């Protein structure tokens, strides 16, 4: 299972673009083998990053992963002459994956019980705001 499909690529980038980069001249049709390879390779890349923060396989695929997958697969299909827009979107997708893996961005999974993250606080003895010294000039009202 890939995170995006051939139809996702068509919906996002148009059939003409897919025909330009994934055309099978021998059969005079779209190369589904080439497209599926790009989508499969893209899934492996995404899994490397998100496996740091979620358990795989995912029960449902969030829309953000469909978008990221589509952008990465698009550049893989354009390997010989990539469009500048495709390179930029690929760069942004990879950065978002890195941010998810590091915790800078959260991957929202609609089927999870999202009750918010856990917050931990750690204090040391030096963190005290009220000490004998800071309270020495304090006087109680009479």
Measured CA to CA, the distance from residue 43 to residue 56 in angstroms comes to 11
Residue ranges per structural domain of the chain: 6-111
* Structure confidence at residue 24 (pLDDT): 94
Local structure of 105: helix, strand or coil? coil
Global pTM reads 0.77
Residue pLDDT, tens place only, 36-69: 999 999 999 999 999 999 999 999 999 999 999 9
* Structure confidence at residue 118 (pLDDT): 56
CB 7 within 8 A of CB 69: no
Residue pLDDT, tens place only, 79-127: 999 999 999 999 999 999 999 999 999 998 876 655 555 555 566 666 6
* Structure confidence at residue 139 (pLDDT): 75
């Amino acid at each position: 299972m890939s995170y995006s499909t051939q139809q996702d690529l068509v919906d996002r980038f148009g059939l003409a673009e897919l025909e330009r980069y994934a055309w099978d001249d021998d059969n005079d049709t779209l190369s589904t083998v080439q497209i599926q390879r790009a989508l499969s390779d893209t899934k492996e890349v995404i899994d490397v990053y998100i496996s740091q923060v979620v358990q795989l396989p995912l029960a449902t695929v969030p829309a953000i992963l469909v978008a990221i997958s589509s952008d990465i697969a698009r550049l893989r299909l354009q390997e010989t002459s990539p469009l500048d827009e495709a390179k930029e979107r690929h760069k942004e997708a990879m950065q978002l994956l890195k941010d998810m893996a590091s915790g800078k961005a959260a991957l929202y999974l609609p089927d999870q019980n999202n009750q918010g993250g856990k917050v931990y606080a750690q204090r040391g003895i030096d963190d005290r705001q009220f000490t004998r010294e800071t309270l020495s000039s304090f006087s109680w009202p009479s």
